[in-house]
Structure formats: structure tokens, C-alpha cells
Chain A
Amino acid sequence: MTGAIAEPSRVGEVVEASTASFVAQCYELHQPPPLGSLVRTRAGSIMIYAIVFNARTGSIEPGRRPIARGQEEEEEGDIFKSNPQITKLLRTDFEAVVVGYRDELLHQYLPPAPGHIHSFVHICEKKEVEEFSGRLDFLDIILESKILLGVDELVGASLRYASGAHADPRAFLVEAGRALASSLGGDLHRLNSLLKRLK
């Protein structure tokens, strides 16, 4: 299924950064950008592009786990009304794998320097997604990345997401499938399962 492109907005800021990935904290609890979506952040003069994976929500203090509070409430939402402080005690983070950057030009390989802490993170506009996914070299970066989540899941999610930015999503996915077949031609089993995720 092809996903709709998320509304462009500022979703959070970088709280942990490395060359290959960064962690960002969302401004809104439970509202991370969708899995596989394209986000951007600034690092000085360059713009870093990354693909979202592994969003999680938990306590702001590590080791201090939230406790159940809803036994007396009718609805789940009432918990937050009765305890307005808990939205401040919880946070939603997401990770993003860096897939390229822009100086004067758009590059689909790792940037010379990582993102900055507290840089704002934006969800990219549809036009930007279309432009970025016009080339498919970034797939190899994901395929080779050492992320915890299944790499193939992320490849599938990112392509399904990006297809929403193209006029003919199926043609885009076929083209992406071919790029994957070139990269994974030697491993038909993996290719087969990956291609199934593109539909």
C-alpha cells in the first residue's frame, strides 16, 4: 500500500547525533513522523536528509517507568485530563538513518559532519520527497546500515512512503524494485521478500 505524504511541519529537534543517524525528540507526545518518511535537519550550512525508523514513547527519565493510572477512569483520554503533568513526564523519540545531504547539490551519500544537537527536524514536503526519491542510490545506504529494526522493513516502508510523492506510484515502485534487483540480484530469496513489501 502506498502511503500519503505527511503534512510538512517542524516535528521536533535532534537530541543525539552521529554521522549515520540521529535521534530526535518530538514536540508532540505520540506524534512521530511515519515510519519510512523523509525528514530533514540542518547542520550549519548543509541540510541533512534522513529516513525515520524506530519511534518510541517512554519516560523522560531513564529507569523511571510510568505507572498505570486509569483504573478509576472511563476513557483512556481521561487519564491525561486527570493528570495533566504526565504529558510533561513522557516523551516521544524517533531515530532517523541519514541518507544524504544538500549543499549546493543534492547528494545521496553520508554528509561530511553529523547533525547538530537541538537542530530542528522537519518533515519534508511532497516536492522534496519526489525530488529526493528521483534517485534511488539511498537504498544502498539503508541496505548497508546497521540499524536495530529490520533493514528490509525500512527499505519497504521508505519506498512505499516515497511512492506517494510520485504521479505514478506503481511505476516508481517498479523502478525501485529494479534498483533493488540490481543490488540484491545475488540473493533472490531476500529480493523476493523485499519486493513483496513494496506492494
Chain B
Amino acid sequence: MTAENQLVPEKAELGGKRLGMVVEGSLSMGLKVRLDRSTFVEDMSVGRYVTIRGQKDYFLGMVTGIELGAADDRLASSPLDAADPFIVEAVAGSATYGLLHVMPQVKLGRRAIDLTEGAKPVKTVPAHFSAVWESSQRDIELVFGKEDERRFYLGTPLDMETQVCLDLVELTKRSNGVFGKSGTGKTFLTRLLLIGILQKGAAVNLVFDMHSEYGWEGRSETNYKVKGLKQLFPSKTAILTLDEESTRRRKVSPDGVVKIGYGEIEPEDIELLRQTLNLTEPSVQAVYQFSREFGRDGWLSGLLARRTEEETAELLARLNVHESTYRNLLRGMERLRRLPFLVDEASHLPVQRIMEYLDRGVNVVLEFGRVTSPESYILVANMLTRRIHEQYVERTEMALGEGRQPPRPLVITLEEAHRFLSHEVAEQTIFGRIAREMRKYNVTLLVIDQRPSGIDEEVMSQLGTKITCLLDNERDIDSVLTGVAGKSELKGVLARLESKQQALIFGHAVPVPVVIRTREYGSADSYRGLGVAHGADAKRRSGEDAREVWEG
């Protein structure tokens, strides 16, 4: 036997304890594991990982169900003398026993050479009576890797201290989703992900920060302050705001204020707002007629301009727009006009400003302050993204043509994603397009939503990695798990997540689905763990950054 074919000695796998043995199973339905007498069934939990030591290979499997078994089917009808502790003690683990349902997820080699090759897909099941152990550190590391220049430590598996790492370079190659009921830690997870992407330099972020929680600081569920991107990475983050007053009241000095001129709103931007602004289909069509009349950058001012009744009638007749359509459109546009960040003439184009930051590798967080109405969020996110995407397409194509470096990968973080990606609008919006075209143009989405069932199925199926906290609505669970192998098993796991700090991750960036306890974030230790400067050092750097931004 050559050295590389040698079995790794059992010592190397120390850690954990034996739980039971495989007694039944199939590749499609998973394995049944009878628990040893020494393993108490109440100590088990769904979602945790176990290692099955087959005779030739080891398998890493997730516990997807727990069951009580009895050797005699008549146990229910003629119970044992359960009041007698002696009898209960004697029969536990033999006549009555616990069963685990385990879904094998990956095969781990047992030989020295396999250790370097990592995990492989499961194409068979371990033999009868294979011992099942708690997974050791080595097993988990073999599958999820260690934190390195592309892997980011996001949390630990249930009941374990090992790190589960996400390959962020892989992650940002596709659009991803963070889901969960409200209050389950979506924001928390997203903040960690953003920090990870930033720290590993996997991509540059553009965050549409509806509730102003990512830029400077956010609040945890227990209401203590946690640092945002700007505090951790002052030189790599710019906070832009749509509501300067709100930002300054929170004692945050923004790197810029975004104002949008009427001229910058294009007819396409209105299409997405149809539902929110209660516009009829003819009204949306009428926008294009106005745009032909007044030009793409003048149509909104043209529409809102004061006119006498005769002038209006004459205009409508010329454009062939019905009076009621006009009224409907006007009502909608009046609502837009009330948005505080819309101005007659914008001083400088926000898109150019943002692109400059992104080009320099500076992450942009756009705070909405108090303007959190759906129409403002949809309008701003949609119009900025559309234009930025256009530029990315242009540059990527040019880069291809001229053999130059394509633009930096960009991840756009979008909250309340169902408003942009619902079945009705996903076809038309830029977000639907980005989600579908993957990384062709180096732009991907990070969608955050509490009602994933509201998102178009096709978009959901295109999301590379899904990170989901507790969901309890049947339709939401179904929509998140669409197209995942072992869906029914994962369903049970997902519905039983704890409501805080736990998430199920599956998809492209992790080799196997895994339930994690999110890493701690918010204490001085945790900031140190993220390898970022704080205290005096951060202040000094922040000063340098500010100069760099204003002078640059």
C-alpha cells in the first residue's frame, strides 16, 4: 500500500463521540440511524452534521429528522411499566430506541490522498451498521475549508465550534438571496456578508440602504449599536444620502448627497412604478408619447408644466391621449414631485459619482433616511441600477473587444426585493435581467426579502446561493427550496430554525447545505476577529479617507 493510499489513522479523526449505526437507507430517501444506548435522543437536533464512517469512505450527512422506534409494534397498545425507572432504564436503547434520519451530503475520503482532494458528491450509501459519529473539526474543515483570502467565516455549524466558510469569490459570481421572517437576523447576516465581500475584495458593493443600517451603524435586536461598513472600512466605504438632514441628525457625515433631476427620470423608470403609483396601462404608454413630444429628459417637466385648459386639450388631442389617462398620469407624477430628493436641475449626475467610487473600489451605501416610501425606493434603486448596469455592459463589451481588464465585479444589495422581482414586473425590470444574466457583465444582486414567495420563480431559480433564516409560511418555504435536492428534508430543517442567529445556507458557494449559528458581531472582539482597524487607528485612517474623497 503506498503512502497516499494509506488510511488515515483513527486518531486524526478524534473529537466527537459515536452516536449510533446505520440500519436502513437509500440514496433518495436518506439513511436511518439507530442511536446507541449511550446517546440520548433529546440531545439530538435537526440541522446538525454527523459523519458516517462507512467501510471504504466517510460521508458527511445532515440530520433531517428524529424518530422514536420500538422493537415491538404493540408498545403503543400495551405499554411497559413506565412508572418503574428500572424498567425504563433497562429497555432504553434496546426495546425502545431513537432513530435519526440522515441525508448524506458529501463523501469524504478516508485515505491520506483524499484529504487534499476535499469532498466529493455522494453516489452511494454507506453499508449496514456503519458507525455514525459526531462530525469532527477535520470533517467540517475538509468540506467548508478554512478562512483564507477568498473564504469568509460566517458562522459555526449547530453544536460545533468549527468554522463554516463561504467562498465569496464563488458567491459573487451569481446573484444571491438572504431570506427570513422579519426580526430573524436578515440585516445582521447581510451586514456580515457585505463586510466579508469587502474584506476579501471579492467585489465592490452598492447598497440601497432603505433603513440606513449598513453605512455608519445599525442596531441589533437587543438595541445596542453595531458598526456599519464605514466604521470598519473607512477608506473603502462611501455613504451617500437622499436625506441629508436625517443622516446628519444621526451624527453621520455623508460623503455626498444625492439629488435627482426631473430630467434624469426616463420613461422606463415609470413602468416599474405602475403598481405603486396606481397608474393604468394607457398612462404608462402615454409617458412615451410625452417623451416623444418633450424629449427623454424633458417629458416630466413638460407634463407637469402649468397650462390653461385649452392648451391641455390641444396637447392631449395632438398626442392622442385620453383625458382620464392624463389625469391618472398627472396624479401619479404629482406624488413623485413630492419626493424631497427630486429637483428641477440636479447639480451633478449621481450615477457618474457612484461609478467613480465603484471604479476606485470604494463601496457605496445609499441611505434613504426618512424617504422610505415604496415609490422613492423603487424609483431610485431602479433608475440608478439601470444606468450603472448600462455602463457595466458597455465597459465589459469594450474590455472584451480590446482585451482589457473588465470592470470590477459589482454586487447590488436590494431590500424588499419582491417589489422589483415579482412575477408581474421581473420581466421588465433591470433587476430581473441582472438576476437572469448571471455574471455576464460583472454585476450581480444580493436580494433581501421576507416574502420570497413574492419573487418570480425564474429569478429565484437563478439565485446561486440562498441564505435563509426562519420562515414559517408554507409558500415562502416552498419558493426558497424550489429545485433543491432533498427538498422535503430541508423543509423540516428550515421550519425548525431558531428565530435568532440561525440560518440555512445552500447553493453555489457552499458544497453542502448547512445550518449555521451566525458568528458573533458587535463586540470589540468580533471587530478584531474581522481583522479591521478600530479605535485610534481607525480615526486616523478615516481622516485620511475623508481628505482622499474630497480632494479626489
In the complex, the answer to whether A174 meets B74 with C-beta atoms within 8 Å is: no
Complex Cα gap A178–B71 (Å):
13
Complex Cα gap A195–B79 (Å):
14
Q: Which of A11-19, A55-63, A128-136, A183-191 contacts B (4 or more CB under 8 A)?
A: A183-191
In the complex, the answer to whether A196 meets B91 with C-beta atoms within 8 Å is: no
In the complex, the answer to whether A192 meets B86 with C-beta atoms within 8 Å is: no
In the complex, the answer to whether A181 meets B95 with C-beta atoms within 8 Å is: yes
Q: Nearest Cβ in chain B — how far from A1, in angstroms?
A: 13
Answer whether residue B75 sits at the interface, using C-beta atoms and an 8 A cutoff: yes
In the complex, the answer to whether B86 meets A186 with C-beta atoms within 8 Å is: no
Answer whether residue A154 sits at the interface, using C-beta atoms and an 8 A cutoff: no
In the complex, the answer to whether A189 meets B87 with C-beta atoms within 8 Å is: no
Answer whether residue A180 sits at the interface, using C-beta atoms and an 8 A cutoff: yes
Answer whether residue B130 sits at the interface, using C-beta atoms and an 8 A cutoff: no
In the complex, the answer to whether A177 meets B87 with C-beta atoms within 8 Å is: yes
Answer whether residue A146 sits at the interface, using C-beta atoms and an 8 A cutoff: no
Main secondary structure of the interface of A (DSSP, over half): helix
Q: Could you say which of B84, B86, B89, B95 contacts A191, with CB atoms under 8 Å apart?
A: B95
Answer whether residue A198 sits at the interface, using C-beta atoms and an 8 A cutoff: yes
Q: A187-B72, A188-B95 are in contact. Are A177 and B89 (CB under 8 A)?
A: yes
Q: Could you say which of B81, B86, B95 contacts A185, with CB atoms under 8 Å apart?
A: B95
Answer whether residue B94 sits at the interface, using C-beta atoms and an 8 A cutoff: yes
Answer whether residue B90 sits at the interface, using C-beta atoms and an 8 A cutoff: yes
B86 cross-chain contacts in A, Cβ below 8 A:
170, 173-174, 177, 195, 198-199
Main secondary structure of the interface of B (DSSP, over half): loop
Complex Cα gap A62–B348 (Å):
125
Q: Could you say which of B37, B79, B84 contacts A178, with CB atoms under 8 Å apart?
A: B37
In the complex, the answer to whether A192 meets B71 with C-beta atoms within 8 Å is: no
Answer whether residue A83 sits at the interface, using C-beta atoms and an 8 A cutoff: no
Complex Cα gap A180–B292 (Å):
91
Closest to A176 in B: B90
In the complex, the answer to whether B93 meets A185 with C-beta atoms within 8 Å is: no
Residues of A in contact, count (CB < 8 Å): 20
Complex Cα gap A189–B80 (Å):
7
Complex Cα gap A155–B29 (Å):
42
**Which residues of A, 45-84, contact B by the 8 Å Cβ criterion?**
none
Binary per-residue interface labels of chain B (84-117) against chain A in the complex, 1 for a CB within 8 Å, 0 otherwise: 1011011101110000000000000000000000
24 A–B contact pairs at CB < 8 A? A170-B86, A174-B90, A177-B89, A177-B91, A178-B94, A180-B90, A181-B90, A181-B91, A182-B94, A184-B95, A185-B71, A185-B72, A185-B95, A188-B74, A188-B79, A188-B80, A189-B74, A189-B78, A191-B80, A192-B80, A195-B84, A195-B87, A196-B84, A196-B87
Chain B interface residues toward A at CB < 8 A: 37, 70-72, 74-75, 78-81, 84, 86-87, 89-91, 93-95
The 10 closest A-B pairs by CB, nearest first: A177-B90, A185-B71, A185-B95, A181-B94, A181-B95, A188-B72, A181-B91, A182-B94, A195-B87, A192-B80
